[in-house]
Amino acid sequence: MKGAQETRTMTIADLALDLRGTDFQRAVWAALREIPPGCTMTYAEVAARIGRPGAARAVARACAANPVALAVPCHRVVPASGGTGGWRWGAARKRVLLAKEGAR
């Protein structure tokens, strides 16, 4: 079409973020942004992904310190024992987000 402009929908993943935290926290938060919608990882899997196997509890603390819930999708991280685990913004809200994303 002549004169038509292309439109592009921005997503949360497109946002440039200036997150302040420790090197470890920023590594965790970067890994979380790579988890696609509808997918989950365990805290231990995130720890292994950033080269820190055995740091699952520290990953959980980094998730709890995440200041931007949806831009850094910490709701996609779940305990290895099953369930959704807790979440800074409430376990019920985490379950709703995971359900909306069709998490598996």
| Residues assigned a catalytic role | 74
d(CA 29, CA 80): 19
Of 58, 89, 57, 95, the C-alpha closest to 76 is 95
d(CA 71, CA 11): 9
d(CA 1, CA 47): 49
